Amino acid sequence: MHMHTFALLAAITACTAAAATPMPATPDDTRDVRDPFLAFTVSVIERTPLQRYEVDRITVQGIIENTSSPRALVILPDGSTHVVRVGDTLGKNFGRALSIRAGTVTVREELRDWTFARIVRDTALPRHQP
């Protein structure tokens, strides 16, 4: 056998011996792995008062328009009042105030049905009846 053959056999033997010995686990190896014995926790999104009710249960008391930033005064079922601007989040389904004009506030909700198909629902908030 040639000298190169012995060197190649020695290298292969060293590699297989190194592969057979397990490497010790280091903290870096396990930092991205979830501990299977810890309880599974779900983060809870804190809702604002405007997000605690369905959109159709929120009523409009008054509207300030003819400004660069129209606002609406809305009344929640618990009797509290809140000022809403375009873009604010309303309702349990995280709807957005789409427009405030001509005595109406329109809220757009984007939902998913059981097939995960996207459903867009626009709702005009009703006027408050004393």
Confidence at residue 63, expressed as pLDDT on a 0 to 100 scale: 92
For the stretch 3-38, pLDDT in tens is 555 555 565 665 555 555 555 555 555 566 777 777
Tokens at residue 108, please?
A: 């757009």
| Three-class SS state of 39 | coil
* Strand-pair category, 59-64 with 71-75: antiparallel
Region 36-50: mean pLDDT is 77
pTM: 0.62
Domains and CATH numbers, the chain: 50-124 (2.30.30.830)
Confidence at residue 107, expressed as pLDDT on a 0 to 100 scale: 95
For the stretch 89-128, pLDDT in tens is 999 988 999 999 888 899 999 988 889 899 999 999 988 8
Confidence at residue 13, expressed as pLDDT on a 0 to 100 scale: 64
User: If you compute the radius of gyration of the chain from its CA atoms, what whole number of angstroms results?
Assistant: 31
Q: Is pLDDT above 70 for 130? A: yes
Q: Is pLDDT above 60 for 1? A: no
Pseudo-torsion of CA 60, 61, 65, 67, nearest 10°? -100
Residue type at position 74: V
Mapped to the 3 state alphabet, what secondary structure does 45-114 carry?
CCCCHHHCCCHHHCEEEEEECCCCCCEEEEECCCCCEEEEECCCEECCCCEEEEEEECCEEEEEEEEECC
